Amino acid sequence: MGEVNRGDRADRRRRGKNDRIDAEQAARSLQAGKATTPKAATGPAESIRMLRIARRSAVSDRTRTANRLHALRVTAPETLRGRLAGLTLAQLVSVCARLRAGRDLTDPVNAAKVALRALARRYQQLSDDIGDLDAHLDPLVASVAPTLVAALGVGTDVAGGLLVAAGDNPQRLTSDAAFAALCGVSPVEASSGKTVRHRLNRGGNRDANRCLHTVALVRLRYHQPTRDYLARRMAEGKTRKEAIRCLKRYLARQLHRAILTDLAQTRQPAAA
């Protein structure tokens, strides 16, 4: 029968879990046409996912290190604080990485120099790690998804996020509507009485949603047809936020086609 995604959670809470119950639930879901195929983890999208996890972790750690460096500069002894005042982050890291401390660590000045130097060098190491990961990700994403990367507003980070959301078997997403739902940009009806409206979709893959939002903002700044589209939607009575949600749904349709095109080309050599 193959693999399907996890079934209904409420049913699992009622009936419990074992192999027999899981198999029965999967079979019933398949018969009812409700079963969904999980993402494959056997191709370039999985490779991109793992590299992006490492990069995101390094970026997060570097941000925390920078915050601690700034905080320690503010609370350092006066003689050291005056020397480091007014420096940009890059200058602060460069200066602190070269600090030399005396042997007497009972002196707060020496202890502060040791701590600042350690944080600055950690920041530099994390920056090197991010650069190394970018050197792997940029050519990998460009080779896997040239059509996607060529789209306006789509760079390595956005393309990587969308590829990871789609997976190595995007055919499991039967339509662009399914991809939009996966990215959390499908409209959710919130109508009542004579009022017909749609609200923000808080579900789906939030990183993919962020990627589509980034593309929308870039195009609103540099692409006149996109600005015209937003103006037309707002003229229909939508708020700016509602119009941007419509734009993200349109982008999901366009970029879904690009993903299908790119991953179909990626699979062709392996089939041969």
Cβ proximity of 258 and 148 under 8 Å: yes
pTM, entire model: 0.79
Look at residue 173 in the predicted model and tell me its pLDDT: 80
pLDDT 10s digit of each residue in the chain, 272 long? Answer: 455 455 555 565 565 666 666 656 655 554 554 445 667 778 899 999 999 999 999 999 999 999 999 999 999 999 899 899 999 999 999 999 999 998 889 899 999 999 999 999 999 999 999 999 999 999 999 999 999 999 999 999 999 999 999 988 877 788 898 899 989 998 777 677 776 666 677 888 999 999 999 999 999 999 999 999 999 999 998 889 889 999 999 999 999 999 999 888 766 544 43
Look at residue 270 in the predicted model and tell me its pLDDT: 44
Question: Chain centroid to CA 180: how far?
Answer: 15
Phi and psi dihedrals of 36, rounded to 5?
-120, 145
The secondary structure of residue 198, as a DSSP letter, is: E
Q: How far apart are CA 213 and CA 227, in angstroms?
A: 14
Q: At what angle are helices 108-144 and 156-166 packed, to 10 degrees?
A: 70
Q: How far apart are CA 167 and CA 160, in angstroms?
A: 10
Tokens matching residue 105 = 């660590």
Look at residue 15 in the predicted model and tell me its pLDDT: 59
Look at residue 34 in the predicted model and tell me its pLDDT: 46
Look at residue 16 in the predicted model and tell me its pLDDT: 62
Q: Closest by alpha carbon to 66, among 86, 43, 92?
A: 92
Q: How far apart are CA 127 and CA 123, in angstroms?
A: 6
Look at residue 30 in the predicted model and tell me its pLDDT: 44
Q: Closest by alpha carbon to 140, among 255, 249, 54, 17?
A: 54
Q: How far apart are CA 57 and CA 31, in angstroms?
A: 41
Helix (H, G, I), strand (E, B) or coil at 253: helix
